[in-house]
């Protein structure tokens, strides 16, 4: 990310000739300074993906007018598109249970402004981290989830999230399955970290599954949450080597190190509008 | 591996106190010089695994007598055990189809004596590499496999392998499923390289499966062949990073680099008696 | 690490035959249950290294008596040795400056009891993290270091550390060079994280040096602090891939992720008595 | 790489607004289909880098005319540029000594057409691989190099290389320092594989240097050869984990696996015109 204010265009459209020329021609016409640009053609899907960063002060108009002026270009190319502003901080709600590693990691990055976001609140089904979160000046909501109160808890969570006008929801090792209503309300905006190298070891206790199968590497996967458990589009993955001497408990411990790193990387790509999902896959312009 | 001749003891037994003391005491008594030693206790299986390298010239007797003298110790500990001699080259039969990368890689290592083995023959269902293999002075057998001739081809392969008195059979991207009779004849002696990070993407065209799922890393797995396809004990695995711009063809190309490396590592562990399989898992004393 | 209480023997001695038998024989005699054992012969240095974990309740005597009884064995083998007790928490002083990533990471691991240590205090040349550290119930000492007050600051730090009876001092991105008096007082007990893959890029601003040289991977190194800057024995290292699009600022950001992971791994090896330094190298029994 | 014939534009120019629009506008005007495009702005050097692949059959003229028509655009932007044709195989001369791993690896890739190049000859200071190379139908030249005959040997090598009209020269573990005259004759066209993670361990016996320093990872570096030993622009690097049990001989063996992989990756980037060197650094559009 750059220090100066910039706009980010993230878009996709049916593939044809002249797309880059049309889009960059628009910016050149207004003497827009392109800081970074990435393009990708998905030959199978016949779809074109792009991401551009344009220095805000190089353009002779403000964001609203930029959007108005770009709209005809986008329409002509039948684009799905958005333009975001680096000066507007994204609003990220964090969901957590009783494991600390992802929460500490995210708050450290937020403290250091490495993650330049607002965290309107943290929601948890336990009150373990109430003090820690509140010490950082962030509101903490305890929403217990039991077999009996599920629909009510879900409604409460949805209400809390809606109130924050969140851009993004991060499941930082939140150990409850999210209700379909929540998934549906925030499509492509909910990131989960799953503690296996998907598609291996879907579901519960993946490290124990990995131990039983005798694999030599374990992994973590950051993906968008959809209604189907652990099946959403994958944003980022990584693995770490283990061997026969590692118990499931050792794996849990090693795994934390990749979980938090993979979640942080995936979240950054998402927040910087580097991830363009299509179908069950993602283009990630790193 | 060491330059001087040495014996390797690879063994497992029920866990109890005093195992290391009993075994190393035996060698100490005869002033045996232990070059390398590894021990592992599988707490779940309550089984103890070990591997020792003893310098041959430090012992006052030859291999046959060593085995005779060690037998009572092994019996006392209810051991599964073997002692091998670094001066006796292992005999490795290579099975290959039409892809060259693993074959070239193995022969390069054999030429350089990095793999200090004998290759009594290469067997293939195609004649693609006949000239290349024979140029190296290694017999080449073309055993075509079709839907019709399967049992006959299998019998022929088994006959050829039996004749070589092979210690180990390597499927170096051999694209036929091995007949159960062959698997049964060489349990724990047949190594395969599967072109995915198992247990993901079992079966055919794993890179295409990986492409469809949109994973961010692809892998390769070296495992012992059992009658159940791609389910045998895993010896070694590794992965490589890909991204959205990689087609299945790109993955096939990248994948070759990990396939040959993972196969070579797994094979070396196996040949140096570093792999002790138990149930569907392996202890690998690297 | 195991749940049950255990003793750890970490030792080295001149190489000869019968070492393992002598040591494990001692434990077998008392029916000591060996949980984990590692051995290494350094052929160049003609020195033998070992580490054993023995279940405390399997021995018929307490730690003090164990040490008394083992002493004759150790003397006979001319050992450097120590036996530690998993029930006695190590005391770790953390030194930090203004960067948060290693501090947050260590405290998260401490909170989760993944690092089962006592942190008697955190010392810093800035007061940035006073509130954060004290919120965790850990004393925080602000010891500013300037060109003028160096000797006085050093004396103050040494006094504070001495008071804690620290086993280990961790430089968690502490940006001052430690005074020789401190290094001399805690040999083999001070761990630093250097933000390069040593021996490349010794000294200041290693990421900028890496940027100028155009390397394709950047790294981090956890090492023991000696009086010679960045030259102490290396405990752990790792790297991360970068490319031409990464500025020095990007490298700083990526680097944090390996710095904290490498420091945490190195620290754990050290605390579990897995690291045996000899000369300028280390044996690390992972 | 794509199956259909395409042209590759690789270029750099002083940074300004409108570069992408100008270049892609040129292709759009002629309905050129852009298969792949990469752009990079080096903010420090104020220089802009780009690489485009354009499908040959989408343009209404041939390569010579494309170059003529593009020249005014390039001049206007003060470009360093070239356009290459995927249908014209690059000519790659391989230099080798007595180690087989890179040579076998490159020939395997060439056999499989993964490297779609011509190899007009292999030159070596030993005759070790004469038979192997000639079996592949490739001319082999034995040019011994001794302390006495250096200038003459250099002249002979230069003559042999010149005769082949080589695009690229690969030092596949060629263990002689290349004469300045050869370096000067093929600037930016000679790739070497150095067996360390540069800038660590420049010069002779890097694995022994690594062993003495006690590093925990060893590496390999593919770089352009310049007159200053091991100082040229880096194209690709990678590392592999080792530990205290690995002797220098073990490192040599492990190292081969990364050397050949890193060389093959670097060579492919170079041959596909993905590497743009500037000063002592490279932009690599993977």
Burial class (CB in 10 A: 0-12, 13-18, 19+), D46: exposed
Q: How far is CA B167 from CA B118, B157, B186, B271, in A?
A: 10, 15, 9, 9
Q: Which residues contact D106 (CB under 8 A, 6 or more apart)?
A: D94, D115, D170, D172, D263, D264, D267
Digit-coded pLDDT (tens) for C122-181:
999 999 999 999 999 999 999 999 989 999 999 999 999 999 999 999 999 999 999 999
Can you say how many angstroms the Cα of residue D136 is from the centroid of all Cα atoms in its chain?
A: 22
Q: Is the pLDDT of residue A105 over 80?
A: yes
Beta bridge partners of C238: C220
| Mean pLDDT to the nearest integer, C49-76 | 97
Mean pLDDT of chain C: 95
Min Cα separation A223/chain B (Å): 10
Which of helix, strand or coil describes residue D143? Answer: coil
Give D240-247 contacts, CB < 8 A, sequence gap 24+: D241/A241, D241/D216, D241/D217, D242/D215, D242/D216, D242/D217, D242/D218, D243/C284, D243/C286, D243/D216, D244/C40, D244/C42, D244/C281, D244/C282, D244/C283, D244/C284, D244/D214, D245/B36, D245/C40, D246/D211, D247/C43, D247/D211
Give the pLDDT score at C229. 83
- A1 — pLDDT class (breaks 50, 70, 90): low
Q: How far is CA D75 from CA A126, D24, D68, D69, D70, in A?
A: 66, 15, 11, 11, 9
Burial class (CB in 10 A: 0-12, 13-18, 19+), B88: exposed
Report the residue from C21, C29, C41 with minimal CB separation from B24: C21
As a whole number of angstroms, the distance between CA C269 and CA C35 comes to 17
Can you say how many angstroms the Cα of residue C99 is from the centroid of all Cα atoms in its chain?
A: 20
Residue closest to A42 by CA, chosen among C61, B244, C183: B244
Kindly identify which residue of chain B lies nearest to residue C58, measuring between CA atoms. B17
The conformation of residue C182, written as its DSSP 8-state character, comes to H
Pairwise CB contact (< 8 Å): C217 & D198: no
Give the pLDDT score at C169. 98
Q: Is the pLDDT of residue C198 over 70?
A: yes
As a whole number of angstroms, the distance between CA C251 and CA C262 comes to 16
Lookup: tokens for B75: 């019996």
Q: Is the pLDDT of residue C23 over 70?
A: yes
Give the pLDDT score at D52. 98
> Which residues from C are below 8 Å from A111, CB to CB?
100, 104
Instruction: Give the percent of chain A with pLDDT over 70.
Output: 99
Mean pLDDT of chain A: 95
Burial class (CB in 10 A: 0-12, 13-18, 19+), C174: buried
Pairwise CB contact (< 8 Å): B36 & C34: no
A217 in D contact zone (CB under 8 Å): no
> Which residues from B are below 8 Å from C20, CB to CB?
20, 24, 28, 34, 37
B272 in D contact zone (CB under 8 Å): no
As a whole number of angstroms, the distance between CA D7 and CA D81 comes to 13
Backbone angles phi, psi at B226, to 5 degrees: -125, 180
Digit-coded pLDDT (tens) for B73-129:
999 999 999 999 999 999 999 999 999 999 999 999 999 999 999 999 999 999 999
Lookup: tokens for A276: 């363009």
Give the pLDDT score at D36. 95
Digit-coded pLDDT (tens) for A186-243:
999 999 999 999 999 988 899 999 999 999 999 999 999 998 888 899 999 999 999 9
- How many other CB atoms are found less than 10 A from the CB of residue D136? 14
Min Cα separation C65/chain A (Å): 30
- D2 — pLDDT class (breaks 50, 70, 90): low
Q: Is the pLDDT of residue D1 over 60?
A: no
Report the residue from B214, B243, B281 with minimal CB separation from A233: B214
Crossing angle (nearest 10°) for helices A248-271 and A101-111: 30
Residue closest to D263 by CA, chosen among D241, D245, D236: D236
- Which chains form contacts with chain C, at 3 or more CB pairs under 8 Å? A, B, D
Per the CB < 8 A criterion, the answer to whether D158 and D180 are in contact is no
As a whole number of angstroms, the distance between CA D111 and CA D117 comes to 10
Peptide bond into B135 cis (omega under 30): no
| Mean pLDDT to the nearest integer, B2-24 | 94
Report the residue from D17, D33, D41 with minimal CB separation from A31: D17
Quote the pTM value.
Answer: 0.96
Peptide bond into A199 cis (omega under 30): yes
Give the pLDDT score at D118. 98
Which of helix, strand or coil describes residue D219? Answer: strand
As a whole number of angstroms, the distance between CA D261 and CA D222 comes to 10
Lookup: tokens for D157: 């090598």
As a whole number of angstroms, the distance between CA C247 and CA B23 comes to 57
As a whole number of angstroms, the distance between CA D22 and CA D29 comes to 11
Give the pLDDT score at A275. 98
ipTM: 0.94
Give the pLDDT score at C203. 84
Phi-psi domain of D146 (left: phi exceeds 0; alpha: psi -120 through 50; beta: other): beta
Q: Scan residues 37-96 of B and list those with Cβ closer than 8 Å to C.
A: 37, 39, 41, 58
pLDDT higher at D193 or D227: D193
Report the residue from B108, B135, B253 with minimal CB separation from D114: B253
| Mean pLDDT to the nearest integer, C255-276 | 97
Give the pLDDT score at C2. 55
Set out the domains of chain D in order of their start, with CATH numbers. 6-85 (3.30.70.260), 92-284 (3.40.50.170)
Min Cα separation D43/chain C (Å): 9
Q: Which residues contact B101 (CB under 8 A, 6 or more apart)?
A: B173, B256, B257, B259, B260, D108, D109, D112
DSSP calls for D163-184: HHT-SEEEESS--SPPPHHHHH
Give the pLDDT score at D230. 85
| Helix (H) or strand (E) run with residue C158 in it | helix C150-164
Min Cα separation B1/chain C (Å): 13
Give the pLDDT score at C228. 86
| Helix (H) or strand (E) run with residue B201 in it | none
Per the CB < 8 A criterion, the answer to whether B167 and B119 are in contact is no
Report the residue from D199, D233, D284 with minimal CB separation from C200: D199
**How do beta strands D47-55 and D34-42 pair?**
antiparallel
Min Cα separation C215/chain D (Å): 6
A17 in D contact zone (CB under 8 Å): yes
Digit-coded pLDDT (tens) for A117-173:
999 999 999 999 999 999 999 999 999 999 899 999 999 999 999 999 999 999 999
Burial class (CB in 10 A: 0-12, 13-18, 19+), C144: exposed
Q: Scan residues 19-38 of C and list those with Cβ closer than 8 Å to A.
A: 36
Instruction: Give the percent of chain B with pLDDT over 90.
Output: 94
- A273 — pLDDT class (breaks 50, 70, 90): very high
**How do beta strands D122-124 and D140-142 pair?**
parallel
Pairwise CB contact (< 8 Å): D25 & A27: no
Pairwise CB contact (< 8 Å): B17 & C36: no
As a whole number of angstroms, the distance between CA B73 and CA B64 comes to 15
Q: Is the pLDDT of residue B2 over 70?
A: no
The full 3-state SS of chain A, as one line of letters, equals CCCCCEEEEEEEEECCCCHHHHHHHHHHHCCCCEEEEEEEEECCCCEEEEEEEEEHHHCCCCHHHHHHHHHHHHHHCCCEEEEEECCCCCEEEEEECCCCHHHHHHHHHHHCCCCCCECCCEEECCCCCHHHHHHCCCCEEECCCCCCCHHHHHHHHHHHHHHHCCCEEEECCCCCCCCHHHHHHCCCCEEEEECCCCCCCCCCCHHHHHHHHCCCEEEEEEEECCCCCCCCCEEEEEEEECCCCCCHHHHHHHHHHHHHHHHHHHHHHHHCCCEEEECCEEEECC
Beta bridge partners of B194: B221
């Amino acid at each position: 990310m750059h220090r100066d204010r910039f706009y980010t265009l993230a878009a996709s459209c049916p593939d044809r000739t002249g797309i880059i020329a049309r889009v960059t021609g628009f910016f050149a016409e207004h003497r827009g300074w392109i800081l970074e640009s990435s393009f990708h053609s998905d030959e199978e899907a016949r779809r074109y993906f792009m991401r551009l960063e344009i220095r805000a002060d190089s353009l002779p108009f403000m964001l609203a007018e930029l959007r108005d002026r770009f709209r005809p270009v986008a329409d002509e190319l039948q684009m799905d598109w958005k333009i975001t502003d680096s000066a507007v901080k994204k609003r990220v709600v964090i969901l957590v249970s009783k494991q600390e590693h992802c929460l500490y990691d995210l708050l450290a990055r937020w403290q250091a402004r490495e993650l330049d976001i607002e965290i309107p609140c943290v929601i948890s089904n336990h009150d373990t981290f109430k003090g820690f979160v509140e010490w950082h000046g962030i509101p903490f909501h305890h929403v217990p989830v039991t077999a009996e109160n599920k629909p009510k808890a879900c409604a409460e969570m949805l209400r809390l999230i809606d109130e924050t006008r969140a851009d993004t929801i991060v499941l930082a090792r939140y150990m409850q399955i999210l209700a379909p209503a929540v998934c549906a309300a925030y499509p492509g905006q909910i990131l989960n970290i799953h503690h296996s190298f998907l598609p291996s070891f879907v579901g519960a206790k993946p490290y124990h599954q990995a131990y039983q199968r005798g694999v030599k590497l374990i992994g973590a996967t950051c993906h968008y949450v959809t209604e189907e458990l652990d099946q959403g589009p994958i944003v980022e993955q990584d693995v770490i080597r283990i061997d026969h001497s590692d118990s499931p408990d050792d794996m849990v411990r090693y795994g934390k190190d990749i979980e938090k790193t993979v979640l942080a990387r995936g979240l950054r790509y998402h927040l910087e509008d580097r991830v363009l999902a299509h179908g069950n896959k993602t283009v990630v312009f790193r």
